[in-house]
Amino acid sequence: MKEINVLVEKLLKAKEAYYNSQPIMSDSEFDSLEDQLYKLDPENYYFSIVGISIKGSNKIKHTVPMLSCGKAKTTEDVFTWLKRIGNEKEILLEMPKIDGLSGTIKYINGKISYISTRGDGEVGQEITYLKDYLNVPQNISALDPYEVRGEIYLPKDTQFNVDGKPLRNIASGLVGRKDQRGDCKYLRFVAYQSIGTSKTKFNEVLDEINGFGFDVVEYKLLKKEEIEESRLHYLSVKRQEWLYETDGLVLTINDMKKYDDIDSLYRVEHHHHYNIALK
């Protein structure tokens, strides 16, 4: 019982730190602790917790929640997921799972209305001042309103002195700074989703965002039988090649018209069911 309580305390502290843009451990460490707790006590109250308090006065309530992904540890787990949702023959879109700080940029009348962190998925912290530093367009020609979601990160070749510390932690620290904000010029934003698009294919959404002037995650379309080969290529080549740090791949059904039907089969709280993270 003591071991369980210690694990829960560590996880809650890590969650609160992460949601307030001050992570104290890596995603892999966090996942490992969650796995340990689940093996010891799968019914623990911890797994029913939806949110953690967000510090600061300038809070943004997301019009569409920014949820996490379900997890898969092996390609076989992905096959099981595809079978469960009844979409084994669907084309998938694969993209990197970037290890940074999730954020969203809201445009009204084609201009930036606000920038916010993900926070607990329901409410985030406003960080609109970053518009003067991030590599994002100040104006776009898009349907109104339009929201671009992505990851704020420090590239591996950053010129900012990180002194051997994890890039993700340094990036979060820069985002939360009250002074010396000029150092935020080292941060980068890479997009992976939009809210407000009229497109019905996920790859077309990413192409649309790229057309507005955003840096967009590298992606590719693939079939079920190509997943394992692609995973191995990621581990041996792409993980080292990409300038953003990653902790896996995200696989998403490319046909967005199927999303509501897939989600309707299950409860949607922590994550949607039309995508999964292969870690």
The yes-or-no answer on residue 97 being catalytic is yes
Tell me which residue of 147, 160, 171, 161 sits closest to 98, measured CA to CA: 171
| Size (the chain), residues | 279
Contact 88, 20 (CB under 8 A): no
Q: How far apart are CA 33 and CA 75, in angstroms?
A: 22
Distance CA(154)–CA(53), nearest Å, equals: 26
* Strand partners for 71: 277
- DSSP conformation letters of 240-271: HHSSS-EEEEEEEESBGGGHHHHHTTS--SSE
Among 141, 114, 120, 130, which residue's Cα sits nearest to residue 176? 130
CA distances to 86, 87, 169, 189, 220 from 18, in Å: 34, 33, 9, 18, 29
CA distance 171 to 187: 7
The DSSP element (H or E) to which 102 belongs, if any, is strand 101-108
- End-to-end CA gap in the chain: 29
Catalytic residue among 97, 106, 224, 279: 97
What letter does residue 20 receive in the DSSP assignment?
T
Active site residues per annotation: 97
